[in-house]
Amino acid sequence: MSFTLWFTGLSGAGKSSISARVYEEMIKCNFAVELLDGDIIRTNFAQDLTFSKEHRDINVKRIGFISKLLNKHGVISIVAMISPYAEVREQNRQTIGNYIEVFVECPLDVLKKRDTKGLYGKAEKGLIKNFTGISDPYELPTQPEVVVRTDHESLEESVAIVMDYLKENNYI
């Protein structure tokens, strides 16, 4: 069975790290799976887009469409991207069908302390415009299938929570 596992959360919460490990686990089990990381997709396919709400929505919908195509051909899609707006995440849920939302939760104060690139600091000084969580909103998921809390869990624990959900619900 193919499905889309959609990791959402603020910058630095752990979406890329957790999704990459889940991807590795699924590869070990010989699943047909593809990892779509928002940063990599933006660099390679969305250079024409800014960080405006309209362009963020376009980017999230594009990746949703790619995920649907992958699923149609029997490939599990793992997506890691901020996807800050609830309405577009819900549109993807409806469009894709077999959609599992994973909220990678971490408080803003912890993210600011973790911020190795200094992005949050730059955003607070106004040097980065439309930065999610600072000068642009992040709409919290209201009913994600899975929640991991990276301020309390290790990477291994968060990966185990996601994998356990997939096993318990007969996705894998």
DSSP H stretches of helix in 1-118: 15-28, 38-45, 53-72, 86-96, 108-114
Cβ neighbour number for residue 81 with a 10 Å cutoff: 23
| Residue 16 is assigned to a ligand binding site | yes
- The CA dihedral of 19, 145, 137, 119, to the nearest 10 degrees, is -20
Query: Does the annotation list 46 as a binding residue?
Result: no
Does the annotation place 12 within a ligand binding site?
yes
Supply the residues annotated as catalytic. 83
3-state class (DSSP) for residue 169: coil
Q: Is 86 annotated as a binding residue?
A: no
Answer yes or no: is 15 a known binding residue: yes
Reduced to 3 states, what is the DSSP secondary structure of residue 147? Answer: strand
Token digits of residue 20: 């990459």
The reply to whether 117 sits in an annotated binding site is no
Q: Which residues, 6+ apart, have CB-to-CB distance to 62 below 8 Å?
A: 41, 45, 46
Residue positions forming the annotated binding site for ATP: 9-16
Annotated binding residues? 9-16
